[in-house]
Amino acid sequence: MTTTPLVPPVPAQTEAMAALRAAVREFLADELAAGRFTPQVDSWIAGWDPEFTRRLGEHGWLGMTIPSEYGGHDRSHLERYVVTEELLAAGAPVAAHWVADRQVGPSLMRHGTDYQRRRYLPGIARGETYFAIGMSEPESGSDLASVRTRANQVDGGWEITGTKVWTSGAHHAHAFFVLARSEPLDPAHRHDGLSQFIVDLDSPGIEIRPIKLLTGHHHFNEVVLDRVFVPDELVLGAPGDGWEQVTSELSFERSGPERILSTFPLAQAFAESLRGAPTSEVVDADLERLGRIAARAATLRQLSLAVAGALTEGAAVDLPAALVKDLGTQFEREVIDEVMAGSRIEPDPTSTDELARLSAEALMHAPGFTLRGGTTEVLRGVIARGMGLR
Ligand SMILES: Cc1cc2nc3c(=O)[nH]c(=O)nc-3n(C[C@H](O)[C@H](O)[C@H](O)COP(=O)(O)OP(=O)(O)OC[C@H]3O[C@@H](n4cnc5c(N)ncnc54)[C@H](O)[C@@H]3O)c2cc1C
């Protein structure tokens, strides 16, 4: 693995990528015209739509980087980037496949066995197999090395006991990656002795308890594992290597366009509301706000694309990925602030006015932007250490 500079070079967009982008846009326009989805803010978390996901699978837009021998499409991270960027910008419902497509596929290709790849990857590429992530616990979030979920070796496999929390989509997913302590904690080497397991969510001993959002929506869960048997074939990577594996997954998790574009549909609706508006001081001020949003989005996109390019090269990108997430999630919040300052719209989740509805959705989802996938403070620690400052 090669190391990268603070910001890797931005890769060139090829003609093939432009053609792919045009095809995705056409598909999205058709879907919208047919009323098959309504644009949403934070659609990679909130928009769970298995039918939409399957249609993406039929177009070959899931599992794009997975080799064809496992049902994928042999395409690059950059091509996948084009597809995900277009889907997110349109607010399309992509939550059902998000975790599976973004990080389970790459993780199985990096650490999984042939058996595991054959078992899960074709379903992921068809948009029929969904995954969740079981890292966080009630007493363990940023400091994941403190996880208390235990994996004890038994005949033919492992028995896992513990509680995971904030498990997005576990109530719909088929399986989840569980990080558990498989060897006793050695305080001098806290990151050792952790392992990752692929746990089917219909396994005996699993209880999925909903944690409702203030809005009443069911997105999160607490997942209790009580002596859940996981066969040896479903240990992900080598036992004891869990920490290294989880941190390599985080680069995929932190650097993508979803860390910039969660509120982009709101920016689009804001732009639409200004289209053709007669010139006035108020409209000019709104256009300035829109200009600031566009300038920030363009810069952050270059940074995120640069990381996608480096991932294609197999480079270590922990530091620039943390930069994307920190700056990108701040921007997602800034979009809301700019629109709220400008539009004089009363946020209302039930409104038929798109700007009112999307601004309400954005406000309700915003608190999570800088928490999920690593908090701002933790990311800044990663950045400072990566630059040799700590
Ligand atoms: C929308 C959403 C979806 C999520 N989905 C999932 C999921 O599917 N699976 C999953 O496993 N988890 C999920 N999470 C959980 C998420 O990963 C955790 O919330 C996150 O890692 C922070 O952990 P915590 O909530 O325990 O906060 P804590 O780690 O307790 O942090 C509390 C505060 O202390 C600060 N802090 C902590 N450590 C340090 C430090 N070393 N230096 C400086 N400040 C520090 C933090 O920045 C934060 O402000 C999700 C969270 C959200 C919001």
For residue 4, report the distance from its CA to the centre of ligand 1, in Å: 27
For residue 136, report the distance from its CA to the centre of ligand 1, in Å: 8
Give 350-387 pLDDT, tens digit per residue.
Answer: 999 999 999 999 999 999 999 999 999 999 999 999 88
Q: Which mutation among 139, 330, 378 tests ligand 1's pocket best, with the greatest number of atoms within 8 A of CB? A: 378
For ligand 1, atom 41, which residue shows the shortest CA distance?
378
**What is residue 281's three-state secondary structure?**
helix
Distances (CA, A) of 365 to 43, 45, 171, 212, 274: 10, 9, 20, 13, 24
Query: Which residue did the predictor score with more confidence, 390 or 284?
Result: 284
Q: Is the CB of 133 under 6 A from ligand 1?
A: yes
Q: Which domain holds residue 120?
A: 15-130
Establish if 158 belongs to a structural domain: yes
**Interatomic CA distance for residues 324 and 322, integer angstroms:** 5
Which ligand 1 atom is the nearest neighbour of the CA of 367?
A: 53
Token pair listed for 382? 């990663």
**Interatomic CA distance for residues 304 and 323, integer angstroms:** 9
Sign of CA dihedral 24, 26, 31, 32: positive
Q: Is the CB of 205 under 6 A from ligand 1?
A: no
CB burial readout 308-347, b (16+ within 10 A) else e: bbbbbeebbbbbbbbbbbbbbbebbbebbebbbebbebeb
Same-domain pairing of 250 and 186: no
Q: Is the CB of 166 under 6 A from ligand 1?
A: yes
pLDDT score, position 5:
62
Residues 6+ apart with CB under 8 A from 285: 342
User: Percent of the chain beyond pLDDT 70?
Assistant: 98
Q: Which mutation among 148, 166, 179, 222 tests ligand 1's pocket best, with the greatest number of atoms within 8 A of CB? A: 166
Closest CA to 237 of 109, 345, 119, 140: 109
DSSP label at 241? B
Which ligand 1 atom is the nearest neighbour of the CA of 374?
A: 21
Same-domain pairing of 142 and 59: no
Which ligand 1 atom is the nearest neighbour of the CA of 132?
A: 8
> What are the DSSP calls for 366-379, one per residue?
HHHHTTTTS-HHHH
- Radius of gyration of the chain, Cα coordinates, nearest whole angstrom: 21
H runs (alpha helix) in 143-280: 242-255, 264-274
Residues 6+ apart with CB under 8 A from 387: 6, 319
Look up the CATH number of the domain holding residue 234.
2.40.110.10
Last residue of a domain, one of 194, 218, 240: 240
Establish if 197 belongs to a structural domain: yes
- To the query of whether residue 253 is one of the catalytic residues in this protein, the response is yes
Average pLDDT (239-252) is 88
Q: Any idea which residue has 């309400």 for tokens?
A: 360
Give 60-93 pLDDT, tens digit per residue.
Answer: 999 999 999 999 999 998 999 999 999 999 999 9
Establish if 8 belongs to a structural domain: no
Look up the CATH number of the domain holding residue 330.
1.20.140.10
Report yes or no: 109 and 102 within 8 Å, Cβ to Cβ. no
Which ligand 1 atom is the nearest neighbour of the CA of 168?
A: 8
Residues 6+ apart with CB under 8 A from 15: none
pLDDT score, position 216:
85
Q: Which mutation among 142, 146, 194, 365 tests ligand 1's pocket best, with the greatest number of atoms within 8 A of CB? A: 142
Look up the CATH number of the domain holding residue 80.
1.10.540.10
Establish if 5 belongs to a structural domain: no
Q: Is the CB of 378 under 6 A from ligand 1?
A: yes
Last residue of a domain, one of 130, 151, 170: 130
Catalytic residue among 249, 253, 338, 361: 253
Report yes or no: 101 and 124 within 8 Å, Cβ to Cβ. yes
pLDDT score, position 211:
96
Same-domain pairing of 232 and 269: no
Q: Is the CB of 135 under 6 A from ligand 1?
A: yes
For ligand 1, atom 29, which residue shows the shortest CA distance?
142
Establish if 340 belongs to a structural domain: yes
Same-domain pairing of 258 and 345: yes
Report yes or no: 211 and 220 within 8 Å, Cβ to Cβ. yes
pLDDT score, position 212:
93
Mean pLDDT (the chain, rounded): 94
Same-domain pairing of 186 and 107: no
Last residue of a domain, one of 188, 221, 240: 240
For residue 278, report the distance from its CA to the centre of ligand 1, in Å: 45
For ligand 1, atom 51, which residue shows the shortest CA distance?
372
Of 146-150, 284-288, 341-345, the poorest mean pLDDT is in: 341-345
Closest CA to 81 of 104, 96, 102: 102
Q: Is the CB of 167 under 6 A from ligand 1?
A: yes
Same-domain pairing of 281 and 360: yes
Look at the chain and report how many structural domains it folds into: 3
pTM score of the predicted model:
0.94
Give 86-113 pLDDT, tens digit per residue.
Answer: 999 999 999 999 999 999 999 999 999 9
For ligand 1, atom 39, which residue shows the shortest CA distance?
378
Residue 1 has pLDDT above 80, yes or no: no
Report yes or no: 127 and 69 within 8 Å, Cβ to Cβ. no
pLDDT score, position 4:
54
Establish if 4 belongs to a structural domain: no
Give 40-65 pLDDT, tens digit per residue.
Answer: 999 999 999 999 999 999 999 999 99
For ligand 1, atom 31, which residue shows the shortest CA distance?
142
Q: Give, in degrees to the nearest 5, the angle at Cα 20 between 18 and 26.
A: 105
CB burial readout 286-306, b (16+ within 10 A) else e: beebbeebeebbeebbebbbb
For ligand 1, atom 27, which residue shows the shortest CA distance?
141
